[in-house]
Amino acid sequence: MNQPELIVQLQQGDESAFKKLVDEWQDMVYNTALGIVQQADDADDITQEVFIQVYQSVSSFKGDSKFSTWLYRITISKALDHEKKKKRKKRFGFVQSLFGNDGEEQVHAVEFNHPGVQLEKKEKAGELFHALNQIPDKQRIAFTLHKLEGQSYQEVAEIMNTTLYAVESLMSRAKTNLRKELSKFYQHKIPEQ
């Protein structure tokens, strides 16, 4: 079944078309969300939220862009919203610790389990994803879409609703910032002589 036909069936409320859509796109949605939030449970939750929104708003899809572009936009939006909520909870938790509780700050290491990363590369991937968390959101999204999801610069521009030049600039700044962040990490790892 081709994409436009599937969309038409979805817009008509065909539940079997929705199941086909989920089967076809859930890995892409999950991997994109995981690339941004870096927690498997959170990526699962976001994936569910994305498909709920798709189901609820598929009637508004006009076909002005590719369906995959629309789906990437929803996924990125949900993942960034999730990150903002997490940051608010952390700030609230910090403020709460100032006014009682045990006062000890707990640091949780990033649990990184991206399906595309082999076991022996997990530590390096974890370092990369920690560094990705340190760069601005737009740079992180462009890098994730291009390097992890394999999207071309043009596709990234469409997904992010920006120009090709802007994506090239974001990627350049992302690479520079990631080099800085990773060099900090490796300086701490090198034993002093």
Where does CATH 1.10.1740.10 sit in the chain?
Answer: 1-107
Of 23, 21, 27, which Cα lies nearest the Cα of 9?
Answer: 21
What are the residue ranges of CATH 1.10.10.10 in the chain? 109-193
HSE-CB for 130 with a 13 A CA cutoff? 17
User: Which pair of structure tokens corresponds to residue 103?
Assistant: 């006062």
Q: Which amino acid is at 71?
A: L
Is-contact 134 185, C-beta < 8 A? Answer: no
| 127 vs 58, residue with greater confidence | 58
Q: Whole-angstrom Cα distance, residue 36 to residue 129?
A: 9
- The pTM of this model reads 0.68
Q: Are the beta carbons of 32 and 144 closer than 8 angstroms?
A: yes
What phi, psi does 163 have (nearest 5°)? -90, 160
For residue 159, the model assigns a pLDDT of 92
* Topology of domain 109-193, CATH: Arc Repressor Mutant, subunit A (1.10.10)
Residues 53, 76: Cα–Cα separation, whole Å: 13
| pLDDT for 14 | 82
* CATH code for residues 1-107: 1.10.1740.10
- The pLDDT tens digits for 20-56 are 999 999 999 999 999 888 888 999 999 999 999 998 8
Instruction: Give the Cα separation of 41 and 47 in Å (integer).
Output: 10
What are the pLDDT digits (tens) for 91-108? 545 444 444 444 444 444
Q: What is the mean pLDDT of residues 73-102?
A: 69
* CA 124 centroid distance within chain: 18
- pLDDT, tens digit (0-9, with 9 covering 90-100), for 126-174: 777 788 888 999 999 999 899 888 899 999 999 999 999 999 999 999 9
Tokens of 139: 């740079």
**What is residue 105's predicted lDDT score, i.e. its pLDDT?**
41
Q: How far apart are CA 117 and CA 69, in angstroms?
A: 24
pLDDT of residue 17: 86
